[in-house]
Amino acid sequence: MTFRAVRADKTDAGQTVRFVDMEDADLMDGDVTIRVTHSTVNYKDGLALSGKSAIIRSFPMVLGVDLAGIVETSGRPDFAPGDEVILTGHGLSETHFGGYAERARVNGDWLVKLPTGLTRAEAMAIGTAGFTAMLALIALEQAGLEPSSGPALVTGAAGGVGSMAISLLADKGWTVVASTGRLAETGYLKSLGAAEVIDRATLSAPGRPLGKERWAAAIDSVGSTTLANALAQTRYGGAVAACGLAGGMDLPATVAPFILRGVSLLGIESVHCPAPRRLEAWRRLAADLDRAKLAAMTETIALDQVFEAGARIVKGETRGRLVVTIP
């Protein structure tokens, strides 16, 4: 049996990324084989699809950091043929074949059974972005913060993580301040629950070690100067959950927010998140996420369109979530 896949190969001339026909014998080791029905396009996918990124660590590599599908065969008792499953992270598209293929073979320890109430398409509309946003929200809650503590900032607001974070925070009662470089998306961001929309330029330029206290919490997917300014303007005892680097890997900040205001910087890692935390995040997403808002932030494309979508997401020309249907 042959199937289509988007695969990256490397030669002396560099990387090539293209559609190929593969066979089951080409799949990597694993104890569960899945018929993939849906995937996503995240910022990391866009970088990999460009053929110019160092994200891929092993070649050849099937791209796609997320997948949802139906178990076809299983060598373990906790998954059976017909089970609907989700897989995000765990090295997909970096060290293990990912979701841009009609079939996948993976380690069953990485899988999550589709939570009750979610469809596979909805699970991929959530994907790594929504999963990461929920991990960030849980981290803020565990830091003792709640809506009564004050407003919450969301940077990169029109992107996947940002859109999901706004919806999740607003539905929990937070007053959300959304930072974006695309003020034309103000109506969209307010429809998700943002109370205020600010220009990202107010955070992306170098600022003071400490600024006016504005928010009690923040979810940042940008990094660099934006994260530094978010920290500098966080209220006493507040916290910032950092989960992205769209603006850069550097952090040109000082220790002032930490030692003068007791601000906490919370690191959010979603790729190798332990199973108990992963299951809790998906349980919360299935229970808490507003399905109408999820639909409003989601665009659905075919597998043939991933290259065009990847270019758009890297340029910052997409909003919300991109779901890929797999034939």
Go through the domains of the chain in sequence order and give each one's CATH number.
2-114+297-325 (3.90.180.10), 129-267 (3.40.50.720)
Q: What is the pLDDT of residue 19?
A: 98
Give the residue among 84, 138, 94, 80 at the shortest CA–CA distance from 114.
84
Q: What is the pLDDT of residue 55?
A: 86
The helix/strand count (H/E) of the chain reads as 10, 16
Q: Are 21 and 88 in contact (CB under 8 A)?
A: no
CB neighbour list of residue 189: distance below 8 Å, 6 or more residues apart: 157, 158, 163, 166, 178, 180, 197
Structure tokens at 192: 């998700």
Give the residue among 163, 11, 1, 4 at the shortest CA–CA distance from 99.
4
Q: What is the pLDDT of residue 322?
A: 97
Q: Count CB atoms within 10 A of the CB of residue 198.
A: 18
Q: Are 26 and 123 in contact (CB under 8 A)?
A: no
Residue percentage of the chain with pLDDT more than 90: 96
Q: Are 190 and 214 in contact (CB under 8 A)?
A: no
Q: What is the pLDDT of residue 53?
A: 78
Q: Are 40 and 324 in contact (CB under 8 A)?
A: yes
Q: What is the pLDDT of residue 327?
A: 86
pLDDT digits (tens, 9 = 90+) for 49-70: 998 878 899 999 999 999 999 9
- pTM metric for this prediction: 0.95
Helix (H, G, I), strand (E, B) or coil at 138: helix
Q: What is the pLDDT of residue 13?
A: 84
Cα separation, 251 vs 254, whole angstroms:
9
| Residues of the chain with confidence (pLDDT) below 70 | none
